[in-house]
A and B are shown apart, each in its own frame.
Chain A
Amino acid sequence: MNQTPPIRASLFVTCIIDQLYPEVGVSVVRTLRRCGVEVDFPEAQTCCGQPLYNSGFTQEAKKLAARTLDALDDCEYVVVPSGSCGAMLRVFYEDLFADDPHMRERAESLRGRVYEFTEFLTDVLGVDGAPMEGLPADGELTPQTVTYHPSCHLLREMRVREGPTTLLSGTAGVELKPLPEAEQCCGFGGTFAIKYPHISEEMLADKLASIMESGADTVTACDMGCLMHIGGAIARQNLPVSVRHIAQILDGSEG
């Protein structure tokens, strides 16, 4: 039935998933492949440069951004399983290279090709929350209650708001629980968490309270940065909540 050539997408996995959470990258690839996407992985990629850019070190950030542009120049679609790194590629590269016309042009060309992982599923592949072909069906998975934390850069830089919850509601075995005060920042903010731990921890405590109030047994998000932060505290306090990237839930992989 499918006469059109398959959609090809390149994964920008992000350094945090590459180094700390490779299993999330595996779930991303598996989900995309199940949706019929031909996935490739430009191996020259490392870090997009966001930690440096956010700390003001733009000269150093430019080095990593240039490296990333080199790796992604020829890609048709770039899929990023992170709202934060996705925002760096889509929004901030243009600011970073504001004074360099050639590089800025390359950043602009990248802009329209960058999609956050769930955004790619909903906006490019047209997944609308109906059960996806190839994904585990109802009854095959242990039922779970899930609450979704919308990460700030995904929400307010990439403007992805509804897609993730639409996808989760369509996932077999998932019962979505609303997160109180969902759009409040979790207090990660990259180096903010270690520069101002006393403020970060207050924000984190409120986020944990919201998660517990939701009654869900799993918390998910589209960013491993926020989840490392939230999950780090959940582990420290031995809270009965598991922490998984949204790709792991869509993929049906055990957390």
Chain B
Amino acid sequence: MAEVSTREFVTASQAAVKDAQLRQALRRAGSGFDGTRREAIAEVSEEVWEGWREQARAIKEHTIGHLDYYLAMLERNVAAAGGQVHFAGDARQANAIVSEIARRAGAQTVTKSKSMVSEELGLNHVLEAQGIDVFETDLGEYIIQLAEETPSHLVAPALHKTRGQVAQLFAEQLGVPYSEDIEEMARVARVALRQKFLEADMGVSGANFLVAETGSLVIITNEGNGRLCTSAPRIHVGLAGMEKVIPSLQDLAVFLRLLPRSATGQRISSYVSMVTGPRRSDDEDGPEEFHLIIVDNGRSRLLRDPALRESLYCIRCGACLNVCPVYQRVGGHAYGWVYPGPIGSIVTPGLVGVAQAKDLPNASTLCGACRDACPVQINIPRMLLHLRHQQAESGDENTKTSSDSDALLARGFATVMSNPWLLRVGRTLGRLLSKPMVQNGKIRQTRLPFLSRWTRARDLPVPAPRTFHEVWRDELSKGGR
């Protein structure tokens, strides 16, 4: 499985907020994507958009609620089309299955179209260790593969890189003249990759949707690389999380409307590819074998928890990232694993364990922009609250990660706020103790823990001479003021 460095969220995000180039890249991409998304919604009208969201959510609710049934249907129909479904419990199993397929076929060169699940599995390293050359063919993925980095956004993996950084990378790694011209850079990548498409023995793709009734794998791309990966090589291996299944082609329609609009603001992506089984006898081209690897890797844990189940409705459009004020400041890498941003803050603790990712559910102001942007109405803030609750009060030591001092503070606060006389005492004490720190009615500096983290950038008010309770009793209740 891909390395998890989510424990370092605080230090990673501290470095990220100081990175001016990252900030510039995030700003441009975030407002760009979100702007076009809003335009696309306005074009169809809020009302129609809300109708689509409801419909999509209902489909996901139904399918995830009957996941075993639809996965079995999918398996039957993939087999009927001549393909083979493999179920992988975890990353190790999934990697072993793909490795074995590659070994049997004697694969030397693998081309890949974009797949977040393969990032999650760390598949590239496993295949490379087996002596296989792996080439990412999505332009963004290609860039980060050259840079030996990981994706920082669900839709735009190289979003953290500025144009100049990519030009530099191409010049260094591919030996081409430095050029910041986007068309020229795309041409360079196309030339480098075209040969690989022709050489590849095996193509690996992700899946945006799996259609149970037809056994089809659906991928949505803008570069056409997905189609080359799934049709040119002898073998096509599709990778998908088990939540990707939907019942029918009829159901697919609404997602084809929602996904491109939410991701990039496009009415439809340049390519929508549906792959159903390998080449048939009368087909002119297509792979000889089609394998579909359906990956659990912790998803059943999310499925079992009614409070977190809706995280499996996600269609990985990235809209929540583009509107998230935290993601927009820290970027994707600070989150420390494959899935960043608001949805990542649910999925990552769910898949790698809360103990490994305890900052993620807390590093949010609960502003709710993600929920409003989500095309399937996933209530991300509510799940963040649920994870915080697990951290604070779970009976399971693996999920309970809050410090004892947090618990003590919480109990203290509850006690004081439950006893008005204690509140009065606390308030008097607070006013007395804060006196030496007060300048012009405010606290400007303090060495006290917690409070100093507030006062490093903001003045802190001190308790007023009289509470509202007192003002009410003395004046307002008597008709005063």
Contact = CB atoms under 8 A, between A and B. Distances in A.
A15 B413 CA distance: 12
Contacts of B450: 194
Contacts of A21: 461, 464
Interface stretch (B59-67, B133-141, B382-390): B382-390
A199 B417 contact: no
A55 B481 contact: no
A185 B324 CA distance: 9
B476 interface: yes
Interface in B166-199: none
B14 A198 contact: yes
Interface in B446-481: 450-451, 453-454, 456-464, 466-473, 476-477, 481
A19 B427 contact: yes
A153 B366 CA distance: 8
Interface string B408-447: 0011011001101001000100000000000000101000
Contact of A58 (B325, B330, B393, B413): B393
A236 B444 contact: yes
Given A60-B410, A64-B418, A156 B368 contact: yes
A54 B458 contact: no
Contacts of A67: 417-418
A1 interface: no
A212 interface: no
Interface in A186-239: 187-190, 192-204, 228-229, 231-233, 235-236
Chain A binding surface, main DSSP class: helix
A228 B461 contact: yes
Contact of B410 (A39, A43, A52, A196): A52
Chain B binding surface, main DSSP class: helix
B458 A236 contact: yes
Contact of A57 (B365, B369, B393): B393
Interface of A: 13, 15, 17-23, 25-26, 29-30, 39, 41, 43-44, 46-47, 49, 51-61, 63-64, 67, 92, 95, 152-153, 155-157, 183-185, 187-190, 192-204, 228-229, 231-233, 235-236
17 contacts: A19-B427, A41-B472, A44-B420, A51-B413, A54-B385, A60-B414, A156-B367, A188-B365, A190-B365, A192-B362, A196-B10, A197-B453, A202-B329, A203-B329, A231-B459, A232-B454, A236-B458
Interface of B: 10, 13-14, 17, 325-326, 329-330, 362-369, 371-372, 382, 385, 387-393, 402, 406-407, 410-411, 413-414, 417-418, 420, 423, 427, 442, 444, 450-451, 453-454, 456-464, 466-473, 476-477, 481
